[in-house]
Amino acid sequence: MLRRALLCLALATAPLAGAAGEAPARVVSMNLCTDQLAMLLAAPGQLVSVSDLASDPHSSAMAEEARAFPANHGQAEEVWLLRPDLVISGSFTAQAAVQMLQRLGTEVLTLPPAYSLDDVPDRIRTIGKALGREARAEDLVTEFETRLTALRAEIARHPTAALYYANGYTTGDNTLAGEILLAAGFDNIAGPGGGGHLPLEALAMADPEALITARPYPGASRSEEILAHPVLRQIREARAGHQMTGSDWICGTPHVLRAIADLTDFRKEIK
């Protein structure tokens, strides 16, 4: 009840945050992917909080850097009390909290996830413009595109590969993970499209030269038991090609280049 009363009072009295045309002085990010883009782009002292997921090494490619920032848990009350000039959220970030912050007069930028490598420069520029850091954003975009072009250099042979996750899920070419796979010089057995269930029988018949699976979470999970199935073990032993995805794969940031580089080195080891 006290929280509700405080928010109602704030709703009645809070001024609109920030002045038009000025770079925001206090920025809060509420989303794992926007956390990383904000950390890459923000001026010193400009970013005042990132989400609690940003410091999780299983999910975040910048877990170490994130520990330098206070963490938020995506709750409207805690974010509003940080007095941000700008809040950055994802399309699927706690919508109730986002809507409450907007009603309180806080400016909120909602960034959709990157579904392809071509989306990465756009996301960098969008955050850079919102932070008043356009020059820094253009430097990052130039570096990203230059390195990506080098990694996409002509490849003599394209081994077949399968992306295989919990519950037998796979992703096709028209996804961020699928494009990472293609950029590293592999042919995805799932082909064009998004994602879906790939039966073990179909995986075995496709007989991919490389198998890329998700890194399992700590503890036990029935959905991940399929990744220890004898069929997968046989594919790994027969081809000697197995790699795991990691935090570099999750968000459309320049860190996907590290995933592509690691996968390229892996491809070169396949005979």
Q: Which domains does the chain have, with CATH numbers?
A: 2-15+24-147 (3.40.50.1980), 160-268 (3.40.50.1980)
Q: What is the pLDDT of residues 194-223, one digit of tens each?
A: 889 999 999 989 989 999 998 777 766 788
Cα distance between residue 178 and residue 163, in whole Å: 8
Q: Please provide the distance, in angstroms rounded to a whole number, between the alpha carbons at the two ends of the chain.
A: 65
Answer whether 196's CB lies under 8 Å from 211's CB: no
**pLDDT at residue 239, rounded to an integer:** 66
Answer whether 181's CB lies under 8 Å from 212's CB: yes
Q: What is the pLDDT of residues 123-166, one digit of tens each?
A: 999 999 999 999 999 999 999 999 999 988 767 788 999 999 98
Instruction: Say if residue 9's pLDDT is above 50.
Output: no
Answer whether 95's CB lies under 8 Å from 102's CB: no
Instruction: Say if residue 1's pLDDT is above 50.
Output: no
Measured between alpha carbons, how far is residue 100 from residues 10, 26, 96 in Å?
11, 18, 6
